[in-house]
Each structure stands twice: as C-alpha cells, then as structure tokens.
C-alpha cells in the first residue's frame, strides 16, 4: 500500500511558523512530507484558493486528496508526527486532542498576526483577487 503524498503549506515570513515547520517531523510510515511557502505561490495555491481556504487563518496540510486547515491541520499533523525529540513529543501531546487543538489554535493565530504586525510583514491575502 502506497503512503499518501503529504504537503504542508505555511507562511515563511512568520518566524514561529517557519521554526515549527523546520522541526516538525512525521513518521516514515505516514509518507513523505513536502513543505511549501505560500508566499512563493506554489501550484497547490490554486487548489487552496479554489477551495476558499484563507491562508491568513492558518496553514494547510494536504494528505492525499484531503485538505486540512488551521486547527484541523495542526491536529492531523500531530497524529502523523514522530514522537522523537522534545518538540515532537510535546507537539503530539498537545495537539493530539481535536478539542484542545480547536481551543489553542485561535490563540496561536492571534500571536502570529501580532508578530507579523510587529515585523511589518503584510498578510498573505491569498483570496483577495479571486472575485
């Protein structure tokens, strides 16, 4: 049985998002994960935009043909992650719960937005020109 293709799309301009994506790792049995910067406008952004997914509201995880966004993405990623290293064990323990993921993700999102404002970075606004 072939493992699904896994793609993580995030905002590289957010230092916290970038650090998270650099250290999170998934189990080999889950498949191979490709990590893409939404600001580079990779081809997958066409699908993300078509689905109306606002990248300013959270990163996107695509597993096979399924798209997960925000709290659902971080929860799914935690379930796929390795349990090696302090970060990955902590990530799993916190975000394995769908309820806790849905509670904590808005707090993380608000922190991200505040950090981008402090750094003078613009929003992604990936849906602005789709009318």
pLDDT at position 3, please?
63
* Inside any domain, residue 128: no
- The answer to whether residue 123 sits within a structural domain is no
Position 28 scores a pLDDT of 85
Q: Annotate 111-125 with b (16+ C-beta within 10 A) or e (fewer).
A: ebeeebeeeeeeebe
Residue 30 lies in a domain: yes
Residue 125 lies in a domain: no
**What would you measure as the largest C-alpha separation in the chain, in angstroms?**
47
Whether residue 112 has pLDDT greater than 80: yes
Report pLDDT for 29.
82
For residue 12 the two structure tokens come to 């590289």
> What mean pLDDT is predicted for residues 81-94?
94
Range(s) of the domain holding residue 88: 6-118
Q: Using the predicted structure, report yes or no on whether residue 131 has a pLDDT greater than 80.
A: no
Give 53's contacts (C-beta < 8 A, 6+ positions apart): 60, 67, 69, 126
Rounded to two decimals, what is the model's pTM? 0.92
> Considering the domain boundaries, does residue 37 fall inside one?
yes
Q: Give how many domains the chain has, as a whole number.
A: 1
């Amino acid at each position: 049985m072939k493992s699904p293709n896994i793609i993580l799309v995030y905002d590289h301009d957010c230092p916290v998002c970038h650090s998270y994506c650099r250290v999170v790792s998934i189990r080999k049995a889950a498949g191979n994960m490709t990590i893409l910067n939404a600001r580079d406008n990779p081809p997958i952004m066409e699908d993300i935009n078509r689905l109306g997914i606002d990248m300013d509201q959270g990163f996107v995880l695509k597993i096979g043909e399924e798209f997960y966004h925000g709290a659902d993405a971080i929860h799914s990623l935690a379930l796929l992650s390795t349990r090696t290293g302090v970060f990955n064990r902590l990530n799993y323990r916190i975000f394995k719960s769908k309820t806790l993921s849905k509670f904590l993700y808005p707090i993380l999102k608000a922190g991200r937005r505040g950090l981008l404002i402090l750094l003078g970075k613009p929003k992604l606004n990936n849906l602005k020109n789709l009318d």
